[in-house]
């Protein structure tokens, strides 16, 4: 009986992890690559580069911020890198947010109040609802509070001050003239701040950007050439900069809804699952991964991954992503009136008459406040199909 049980287990294992020929080139590379964790790979890049740019996946995914937390918490980062830039967070949060996150021994209630205030004012949208930003700010504060080695944080999005936006005309002017071209402005904000602190012999920085903003090339879009922040940074810093893509799902918009697929229809994800790898980093140049067409940019997939990114980290499979929006205290009581003022202006700009009419009712406002102040964690709506697409390459 014991022999039968062992044989059954071996047969089940072989069947589950049978290798489809389409994933062989990826599996062969992964078998040869040095087994380095995503965190160690990111940190190692600072040995030969001053600037390391991470291509964040879906803003909502919290699991990638667990990786980022591990990077920021590492003794090497705190002592030798120290500087963090992000796309999220308008630049006029500086210098207050930078100083606050380095102030020790603050009352816990005051800390919560300030973190909520920073999130509330972080965007040119009426609300930035993703929990990732709150998590990141809390991470930096908690790392700095007991440590002699302090992390300097610099939000780098375009300047936007809601106190100067009094109506939809003001908002239109800001959105259509003052915040564009956004990518070149973000690059300028990063370079200008970087040059300030490098005069003090501190030359390294981690930069977190989302999606195409982290491409080291400009790309064609539906409206023509789209110029990307990281291309500007590469032009300025040259070989001192490198960029790394975090594993992610593809997305496209159809009928005002997002549709999700896996890179190369699941071949990449299948190769990692086949080898039971969920945490690794490696260079893309000259690899089967790097030579694939850039299908995360499905508007124009003529480029390859190695043309777009220097490195890649795979961190957790698709079913482990935590898509978190909203949280308790996102809109504190004292900010409710200001939130609805901003929301009304944004709806007027968007000419959303249906929601504007509802906004005048108490019940609707109360439902909104309840929703945004309640944590919501999701998975991709077609997760089962994504898993099937991946696992199809693991069967004979």
pLDDT digits (tens, 9 = 90+) for 342-395: 999 999 999 999 999 999 999 999 999 999 999 999 999 999 999 999 999 997
Q: How large is the average pLDDT for residues 329-351? A: 97
Give the ranges where the chain is alpha helix by DSSP (H): 2-16, 24-32, 38-44, 63-73, 75-76, 96-100, 108-120, 131-144, 168-173, 182-198, 229-237, 267-274, 288-291, 305-308, 336-349, 353-358, 362-372, 383-391
More confident residue, 332 or 11: 332
Contacts of 331 (CB under 8 A, 6+ apart): 120, 127, 339, 369, 372, 373
- The answer on pLDDT for 179 being more than 90 is no
Q: Are 126 and 71 in contact (CB under 8 A)?
A: no
pLDDT digits (tens, 9 = 90+) for 215-265: 999 999 888 899 999 999 999 999 999 999 999 999 887 777 889 999 999
Residue 55: name the closest of 268, 239, 304, 229 by CA: 229
- The parent domain of residue 111 ranges over 18-330+373-389
pLDDT category, 61, cuts 50, 70, 90?
very high
More confident residue, 79 or 177: 79
State residue 298's pLDDT score: 83
Residue 350 lies in a domain: no
pLDDT category, 271, cuts 50, 70, 90?
very high
State residue 332's pLDDT score: 94
Q: Is 277 helix (H, G, I), strand (E, B) or coil?
A: coil
More confident residue, 47 or 179: 47
Number of domains in the chain: 1
- The answer on pLDDT for 7 being more than 60 is no
State residue 16's pLDDT score: 52
Q: Does the pTM exceed 0.85?
A: yes
Give the integer Cα–Cα distance in Å for 20 and 330: 46
- The answer on pLDDT for 318 being more than 50 is yes
Q: How large is the average pLDDT for residues 75-91? A: 97
pLDDT category, 396, cuts 50, 70, 90?
low
pLDDT category, 2, cuts 50, 70, 90?
very low
C-alpha distances (whole Å) from 280 to each of 2, 49, 126, 129, 247 are: 36, 20, 37, 30, 10
- The answer on pLDDT for 9 being more than 70 is no
pLDDT digits (tens, 9 = 90+) for 121-172: 999 999 999 999 999 999 999 999 999 999 999 999 999 999 999 999 999 9
Give the integer Cα–Cα distance in Å for 131 and 73: 19
Residue 357 lies in a domain: no
Mean pLDDT of the chain: 93
Q: Are 58 and 26 in contact (CB under 8 A)?
A: no
State residue 6's pLDDT score: 40
State residue 12's pLDDT score: 43
Percent of the chain clearing pLDDT 90 (strictly above): 87
Q: Is 210 helix (H, G, I), strand (E, B) or coil?
A: strand
Residue 108: name the closest of 145, 159, 79 by CA: 145
pLDDT category, 14, cuts 50, 70, 90?
very low
Q: Are 232 and 187 in contact (CB under 8 A)?
A: yes
Residue 5 lies in a domain: no
pLDDT category, 17, cuts 50, 70, 90?
low
């Amino acid at each position: 009986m014991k022999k039968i049980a062992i044989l059954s287990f071996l047969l089940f294992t072989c069947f589950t992890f049978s290798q489809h020929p389409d994933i062989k080139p990826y599996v062969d590379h992964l078998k040869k690559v040095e087994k380095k964790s995503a965190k160690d790979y990111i940190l190692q890049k600072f040995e030969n580069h001053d600037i390391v740019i991470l291509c964040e996946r879906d803003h909502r995914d919290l699991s990638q911020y667990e990786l980022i937390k591990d990077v920021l918490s590492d003794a090497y980062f705190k002592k030798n890198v120290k500087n963090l830039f992000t796309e999220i967070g308008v630049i006029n949060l500086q210098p207050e947010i930078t100083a606050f996150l380095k102030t020790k021994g603050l009352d816990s209630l005051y800390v919560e109040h300030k973190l909520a205030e920073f999130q509330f004012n972080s965007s040119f949208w009426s609300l930035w609802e993703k929990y990732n930003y709150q998590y990141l700010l809390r991470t930096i504060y908690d790392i700095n509070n007991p440590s002699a080695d302090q992390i300097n944080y610099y939000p780098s999005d375009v300047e936007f001050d809601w106190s100067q936006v009094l109506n939809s005309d003001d908002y239109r002017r800001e959105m259509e003239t003052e915040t564009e071209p956004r990518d070149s402005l973000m690059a300028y904000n990063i370079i200008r701040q970087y040059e300030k602190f490098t005069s003090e012999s501190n030359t390294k920085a981690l930069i977190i950007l989302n999606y195409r903003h982290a491409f080291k090339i400009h790309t064609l879009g539906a409206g023509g050439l789209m110029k990307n922040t990281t291309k500007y940074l590469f032009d300025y810093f040259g070989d001192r900069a490198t960029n790394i893509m975090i594993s992610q799902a593809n997305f496209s918009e159809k009928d005002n809804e997002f549709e999700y697929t896996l890179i190369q229809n699941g071949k990449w994800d299948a190769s990692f699952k086949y080898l039971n790898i969920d945490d690794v980093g490696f260079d893309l140049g000259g690899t089967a991964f790097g030579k694939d067409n850039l299908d995360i940019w499905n508007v124009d997939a003529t480029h390859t991954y190695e043309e777009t990114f220097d490195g890649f980290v795979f961190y957790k499979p698709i079913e482990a992503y935590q898509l978190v929006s909203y949280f308790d205290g996102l809109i504190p009581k004292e900010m409710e009136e200001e939130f609805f003022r901003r929301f009304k202006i944004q709806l007027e700009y968007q000419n959303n008459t249906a929601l504007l009419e509802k906004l005048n009712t108490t019940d609707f406002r109360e439902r909104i406040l309840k929703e945004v102040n309640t944590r919501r964690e999701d998975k991709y709506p077609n997760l089962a199909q994504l898993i099937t697409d991946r696992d199809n390459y693991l069967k004979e």
